[in-house]
Amino acid sequence: MVFAHDTDVALRTAADLVNTLLGERDTLVDTADLADFVARWEWTGRITGDAEELAEVRELRPRLAASWRAGSDEELVDLVNTLLREGEALPQVVNHGDYGWHVHATPPEAPLAVRMQVEAAMALVDVVRLGERSRLRVCAAQDCEHVLVDLSRNRSRRYCEGGCGNRLAAAAYRSRRT
Ligand SMILES: [Zn+2]
Ligand SMILES: [Zn+2]
């Protein structure tokens, strides 16, 4: 395990959110899309399901996407510190579900986009502290712009969670057979 479990989840959540913006079409365009995303990553706390919340989450995406494009630790740190400061992060140790002790830096009644912002930023703090920025990658498939977090022990993950690895393996298999 490279990061703590809650950090892994937060990073994968952030990548999934960023990926709704990248690629052929935007896949977070209405409140139903956001409801799906919230269910997929088991967000709890205050969720209004309204257009304002959707707009706020949509606006967060390019800011998180910038983390994957950061060219240095310093650049990533600037982004992370801005996200933490503007999100008024106040770390508190909590326990719920199966997570064990971990840190929340926003109260559950804070707006969803703010909680998403701060949770992603807190996870990125771990990435920086452990010198693991190289695990924030772009999918190796030529026709895919999606981002990923390589959480494998041997840094072997090259494809996004959208199925590019399987897709390319199937294509390679077909081309070997013909
Ligand atoms: Zn939690
Ligand atoms: Zn991909």
The pLDDT tens digits for 35-93 are: 999 999 999 999 999 999 999 999 999 999 999 999 999 999 999 999 999 999 999 99
Q: Is the pTM of the predicted complex or chain greater than 0.85?
A: yes
Rg (alpha carbons) of the chain, rounded to whole number = 17
* 12-23 per-position pLDDT tens digit: 999 999 999 998
The burial of 172, by beta-carbon neighbours within 10 Å (0-12 exposed, 13-18 middle, 19 or more buried), is given as exposed
**pLDDT (0 to 100) of residue 135:** 97
Instruction: List Cβ neighbours of 178 (8 Å cut-off, separation of 6 or more).
Output: none
pLDDT of 178 above 80: no
**And the tokens for 52?**
């304002």
Q: Tokens for 169?
A: 């393996």
Ligand 1 centre from 145 Cα, in Å? Answer: 30
- Ion ligand 2: residues, CB < 5 A: 139, 141, 144, 146, 160, 162, 164
- What separation in Å is there between the alpha carbon of 138 and the centre of ligand 2? 8
| Range list of β-strands (E), 24-177 | 92-94, 102-104, 136-138, 147-149
On the 0-12 / 13-18 / 19+ scale of CB atoms within 10 A, 85 is: exposed
Give the distance (Å) from ligand 1 centre to CA of residue 116: 12
pLDDT at 1 over 80: no
**Ligand 1 center from residue 3 Cα (angstroms):** 15
Nearest ligand, CA 42: 1
Q: Specify the fold of 5-177.
A: Jann2411-like fold (1.10.3300)
Residue 177 confidence (pLDDT) above 90: no
Q: Is 92 left (phi over 0), alpha (psi -120 to 50) or beta?
A: beta
Q: What is the pLDDT of residue 27?
A: 97
Instruction: Give tens-digit pLDDT for 125-173.
Output: 999 999 999 999 999 999 999 999 999 999 999 999 999 999 998 988 8
Lowest mean pLDDT among 4-8, 122-126, 143-147: 4-8
Domains of the chain: which residue ranges?
5-177
Contact 13, 117 (CB under 8 A): no
> 36 C-alpha to center of ligand 2: Å?
20
How is residue 111 written in tokens?
């707006």
